[in-house]
Each structure stands twice: as structure tokens, then as C-alpha cells.
Amino acid sequence: MTHAGPSAEVEDFKSGHCQRIRLAPDSATITDEMYGVHEIIEAPLLALLSSAPVRRLGRVHQHGMSGLLGLTPPVTRLEHSVGAMLLVRRVGGSVEEQAAALLHDISHTALSHVADDIFPCDGSYHEIHKHRYVATTCLPTLLPKIGLPDKVLDEELYGLVEQDSPHLCADRLDYGLRDAVAFKFLPLETAQAVFADLTAFPSPSAPKRCLALHDPKLALALARGYIATDCAVWGNPAHADMYIRAAALIRSLVENGRMAEDDLWLDDEVFWATMRDACDEDGRREMDALYAIPDEQGLRLRLEAKVRTLDPELVVDGSLAPLSQVTPEWKAERQAYIASRHILYQPPSPVPGASTRANGVAGANSDVCPGE
């Protein structure tokens, strides 16, 4: 599985649900409904945008199977990765940090987080196996040629790109805005206002830097849109049930030698077709049953399922304060939401060694739902 290097062709293509890219050898024009029009002329970023591994992300859906099958908006990992880059760019982050944002999901597998259940591990499969995947691509050769260090593949080293939940960072903010707008839990105008209000605190180059907002009302609207999307999509047990069933089928195909583990780094459509070819008649019926999101009534969340919330930092009188401190009603609202989600958790199994996963499928220590 070796990918080619950058292309010299001029292309104009839709990179996702609300984003378009015109890519030329000496420039790239990114038109994003939320973030506006941006001209990229920096050679390292152009080389990455042209590279096959980054372009693959345009064929990998943010919501995996549900996006592929037309059940949810077709937001792509490329759209999200470019969006994260634009957020870092917006606040004055370096080209290196913009590259780290662009590459943060480079090893994301087909069908979103389904791999986390096929091969259970302590964390997200695509993060744990990032360097194994990258070694099969042009990136190890390309990065030194374009003057970027290998550490751009470790996004946790860049404070504008990654922060622990519930803090703002380019990754969390972009997928939160993108999905909240796509699922109509946040007006497009509000997302545009968040982009305009964003800042790097205390500066884009400070050792301990982070993203922050100035307007408490915008921060509250963002935080509410984020948990609404978590409830309806990322943490919805019906969506999780689809991925759990798909993972069980894929796991059986891998165990029986009908699919290979590295097939996970195909794009969504090719993976789905490969999966269908590998299935017998019963397996194809199981795949057909995945073309509809089930009724969530009676379904439970796994004990290890994430409850995603935001508590955005605000710049107040020259220092940072979380929204929950500036707007106490958000502290109570956020705590109430977390408590309401915990009620949905699957009770621990009384049988030693038995599954504690919701819906009766043996589990991993990560979400199967789309997200980070």
C-alpha cells in the first residue's frame, strides 16, 4: 500500500459538505461556507494538499457508514482537516502548526471509528496505528523535502490543534461547528461569527497557547449546539448500534481471511465494495440492514462511551475564564446534560468476563461513533 506524491494538475473539486478547493501548483483557493475564502500560497501546505494521503480523506466520511449511505450529511475527513487548518491559520498559527492540523486525521480509517471495535485497543485505532500507516505513504519522503519536521504527525504537541476535553482546539471546534451546522443545531451565521471571534491566547506562538473566544453569547450558543449534536449524533445509541453491528461483521471477515486489516485504509466506497464482495449471502443481508438508522428507543450507551461537551475559554480582562465561570447557567446546564447521558449507560454485566457493551457486543475502550 504505497501512495504517490503530489500532483501538478490544476483541479477544482468539492472537498466535503460545505467546502470547495481549487488546487493549482502555486496556490490553492479554499471556499468554505463557514470560514469564507482563503488563498493558500505556502509551498509546504500546497504540497500536503496535493498529496495522495491527504486527498484520500476526501473519500472518507466524518460519520463513516451513515455518511457513505446518505443517512447523514456527507461531511468528509478532508473537509474537517482543512477546516482545522483554517482555524489555526485564522488566529496566526505557524505554517508548521497549520500542517499539523491538516494532518491530524491522516491515518483515519474507513467508516469512521468502526476500527476501534474491530480491533479493540486502549484508544482510537487510527491514532495508535498512525505511524504504521504513514510509513506506507509518501509522507516520510515528502515532509523533509518540504521543510516540515516529523513531529507534525503528533498533533498533541501543538496547543492550537489539540487540547483535552472540554477545552477548545482546532480539531474539536471544527468538527463541532461543521456537524452542528450540517445537522442544523447551529445556524450557519453563528458558526461564521465564532470563526470571526476566535483568538489564540496568549499568542499564537506562546508555549502554552490555546483557542479562545471573546463573546460569551457566542460561546454559549456554540456549547449548546455542540451538546445537541452529541445527543443526536455522536453519542446517539442508535448510531452506535449501527457501527457495533458493522464492526462485528467486519471482524468476522478479517478473522476468516476474507478481508485484510490494511483494507481499513481504503476509502469508504472501495472498502464498502470490498466488504460486500467478501460477504456470503447472510453477510450481504446484514449489510443491507445497515442502510437505515435503527430506532434508538431501548438502546443503551456503553460504560466507556464518551459524553462530549464544551466549556470554551473566554478572554476576560486579559486572562482566560471558562464559559461555566462567566455564565454560571452553563455550568448547571452542562452538568445536567452529563447526568442525563449517564442514565443511558448499560449496567455492568453480573457475569464475570461478560460484555459490558450496550446492545450485547463485546467492547473496546473508545467510541464507535464519529468524532475526534
Residue 348: pLDDT above 60? no
Looking at residue 366, its pLDDT comes to 33
237 assigned to some structural domain: yes
Task: Calculate the CA 181 to chain-centre distance.
Answer: 15
What single-letter amino acid sits at 343? I
Q: Tell me: the pLDDT tens digits for 62-113?
A: 999 999 999 999 999 999 999 999 999 999 999 999 999 999 999 999 998 8
Q: Tell me: the pLDDT tens digits for 47-69?
A: 999 999 999 999 999 999 999 99
Q: Tell me: the pLDDT tens digits for 263-321?
A: 999 999 999 999 999 999 999 999 999 999 988 877 888 777 889 999 999 999 999 99
Looking at residue 302, its pLDDT comes to 75
Whole-number Cα distances in Å, 256 to 210, 250, 251, 297 = 46, 10, 9, 34
1 assigned to some structural domain: no
3 assigned to some structural domain: no
φ, ψ for residue 349 (rounded to 5)? -70, 135
Q: What is the CATH number of the domain that holds 238?
A: 1.10.3210.10
Question: Which residues constitute the domain of residue 345?
Answer: 11-360
131 assigned to some structural domain: yes
Q: How far apart are CA 140 and CA 226, in angstroms?
A: 36
Mean per-residue pLDDT for 243-260?
95
Output the average pLDDT for the chain.
90
Looking at residue 166, its pLDDT comes to 96
Higher pLDDT, 227 or 353: 227
Cell readout for 336 is 445536567
Cell 486525521 belongs to 105
Q: Tell me: the pLDDT tens digits for 114-135?
A: 998 888 777 788 889 999 999 9
Cell readout for 181 is 451546522
> Within the chain, how many helices (H) and strands (E) appear?
17, 8
User: Which regions of the chain does DSSP assign to beta strands (E)?
Assistant: 11-16, 19-24, 27-32, 36-40, 199-201, 210-212, 313-316, 319-322
Q: How far apart are CA 183 and CA 35, in angstroms?
A: 17
Domain count, the chain: 1
